[in-house]
Structure 1
């Protein structure tokens, strides 16, 4: 259930945010930047890693 919990947490952190741009940061990584400055990183290195940096 850890993956499900991680998905739910990411969803709740990003709900209502407006996408500014989507970038290919490097091979295997996507960065989604939001209007408020928050960023969502998805790295396809095995296993898939997700990281969210919220704007202050």
Structure 2
């Protein structure tokens, strides 16, 4: 599977899911658990930087 195919597949599988929680046990791993019980897991030999960007209007509406 190419990176483009993997990206498209992941996008489709995660579309519309609601995040329940984000877990970081180590610098090199990120687990995102969704309300429906599915999970996204990233693991790296080196530390992973977690960066989240939101539209200011969306954030202020909360």
**Do both proteins adopt the same fold according to a TM-score greater than 0.5, normalized to the shorter chain?**
yes
Q: Flag as ranges the 4+ runs of structure 1 deviating above 3 A.
A: none
Alignment TM-score, normalising by the size of structure 1: 0.71
Q: What is the number of residues matched between the two proteins?
A: 46
Gaps in structure 1 of 5+ consecutive residues: 47-56
* TM-score using structure 2 length: 0.65
Structure 2 unaligned spans of 5+:
47-62
Higher strand share: 1
Indicate the structure with greater helix content. Answer: 2
RMSD over aligned Cα, in angstroms? 1.8
